[in-house]
Amino acid sequence: MPKAVIISKQQPSPVERFIGGEVTVLASEPLVISNAIQGECYEVALPEDEHREDKGMLSLYPIDDHKFCLELSYLQLAEASSASGSVCTLRFLPAFFDQYPAETLMANQRFRFDQSTQIPFSICTLSRSLVDKLQAETVATPFIKSLERSSAAMHLLRRALECITIPFEACQVPACRFLAHESEREKIQDARRIIEQHIDQPHTIRELARKVAMNECYLKKGFKTVTGRTIHEYQQELRIAKAKELLQQQGLSVTDVANTLGYSSISHFSTAFKRVTGLKPCELLK
């Protein structure tokens, strides 16, 4: 059984960043695989408002010229719509990709290995069995167990790449070397969480940088690399998405929505809304 752990709220774990919300990590156990592939298993309790379904995520961070770190995350529920489940994360380190020619990595992929991205994908039956195999206890020697897990991890990577079918636009910014450090990537995710939790109170870059203890220039560059958007664009998209929900589903007036989301005036809100959606807020009212 995995041993219980306490996760610091100042340093969200990979599973918290993957799922989002107030997920509770009940237990954690490392997966010993190889020097090029690292893994972790978690038992989790999901937030009450979480849309519950099995899901996967591929996250890629270029950390230097021709150096990449790719992470696969898998959420599997204990049963359909369950409030508990397990998460398995796999990190393919630069050493893993060093064994492949650069032209092989770059050719005919649905994403660029030299540009940061996050792509969701569906978990197929084969992937579920491979994740289970990763976590299964065997009587094999440590080396054979490592070989078995390496094989399963590489098969999961292949399946994830095959399952990615949605188009996306890669981030057109150069690699950020400081993102090679997990602690720096965590700061970027901290900033993202702060934005998501306070969409009615937009933060300046200076305020965000102070809260996550990061240089302002690093925060701006790292945020664009990880999310594909500037901090302002990300905040604006979240606020407009929430505005659409308030207008369409809750039937709030344009004035109430503008006030709820912290816009300085109805005119400012309407201009921002039309810039993003191409519509006036009043056109969404039922």
The domains of the chain are located at 3-163, 178-284
Q: What is the predicted pLDDT for the residue at 36?
A: 95
Which of 1.10.760.10, 1.10.1270.20, 3.30.70.1230, 1.10.10.60 is the CATH number of 178-284?
1.10.10.60
Q: What integer pLDDT is reported at residue 239 of this predicted model?
A: 86
Q: What is the pLDDT of residue 14?
A: 66
* pLDDT value of position 147: 92
Return phi, psi of residue 122, to 5°: -85, 145
Predicted local distance difference test score (pLDDT) of residue 20:
65
pLDDT at 88: 93
Per the confidence metrics, is the pTM higher than 0.75? no
With CA atoms as reference, report the closest residue to 87 among 98, 76, 72, 101. 76
Per-block average pLDDT, block size 10, for the chain (286 residues)? Answer: 41 66 81 93 75 79 82 84 82 92 76 76 83 85 91 92 57 58 83 88 87 87 83 86 81 83 81 79 71
> Secondary structure of the chain in the HEC alphabet?
CCEECCCCCCCCCHHHHHHCCCCEEEEEEEECCCCCEEEEEEEEECCCCCCCCCEEEEEEEEEECCEEEEEEEEEEECCCCCCEEEEEEEEECHHHHCCCCHHHHHCCCCCCCCCCEEEEECCCHHHHHHHHHHHCCCCCCHHHHHHHHHHHHHHHHHHHHHHCCCCCCCCCCCCCHHHHCHHHHHHHHHHHHHHHHCCCCCCCHHHHHHHHCCCHHHHHHHHHHHHCCCHHHHHHHHHHHHHHHHHHCCCCCHHHHHHHCCCCCHHHHHHHHHHHHCCCHHHHCC
Q: What local confidence, expressed as pLDDT, does residue 3 receive? A: 44
